[in-house]
Structure 1
Amino acid sequence: MGVDAATMVTIRYFAGARAAAGRAEEHTAAGRTLDEVVDELAARHGDRLVRVLRAASFLVDGVACHDRRAPLPAGATIDVLPPFAGG
């Protein structure tokens, strides 16, 4: 079954988040909040990703997410950005 962008959001993982999730990208249903999606990802991928998610920043369609309880629109892209070392 293909991914229907009209009802899904895309989650993209970067750096340590990618390693912890074991993939670069995945999809989930739209209409839920970022907090709900983060809970789903934690349950799906386990403790290693949970540790990363606790410290990560999240972009929704390229903009920092400040309201983690707002419903995510269909077709949105969530970027999971763990803290980066260096300068």
Structure 2
Amino acid sequence: MDETEVIRVRYWAAARSAAGVAEEDVAVTGPLTLTELRSAVVARHPGGAFADVVGVCSVLVGEQPVSSGDPGQVVVQPGDTVEFLPPFAGG
């Protein structure tokens, strides 16, 4: 039997506002792609602007920025922390 582990997800600025929480744990039984993780968190926050905001966010897995390449190729491991950072305006 697989043991459930978690991926910690943190939201910043507009993503935090749209989610209504600063962070949450997503239960997993193994690695996910970033695409799968994004779908899982969007399903937790239906309606509103959350899906749109998360869709334009920069992403950190651990402390490493994820490039703008295919999120289906980015593997997120149980125990990782993933941060969604919306674009910031201003100077």
Q: TM-score scaled by structure 1?
A: 0.84
Structure 1 residues 2-81: aligned runs within 5 Å: 7-28=5-26, 29=28, 30-47=30-47, 48-66=49-67, 68=71, 69-81=73-85
The CA deviation at 1:70 is 3.0
Structure 1, residues 16-61: CA drift from partner, whole Å, max 9, x if none? 0000000000011251111001011112212411110121110000
| Cα displacement (A) at 1:71 | 2.5
Q: In 2, distance between residues paired with 1:75 and 1:44?
A: 19
Counterpart of 1:33 in structure 2: which amino acid? Answer: T
Provide the aligned length of Structure 1 versus Structure 2.
Answer: 83
Of 65-74 and 47-56, the range deviating more from structure 2: 65-74
Q: State, as a whole percentage, how many aligned pairs show the same letter.
A: 37
Give the structure-2-normalised TM-score.
0.80
* Cα-Cα RMSD: 1.8
- Aligned structure 1 segments of 4 or more residues deviating by more than 3 angstroms: none
Structure having the higher strand fraction is 2
Structure 2 unpaired stretches of 5+: none
Structure 1 residues not aligned, in runs of 5+: none
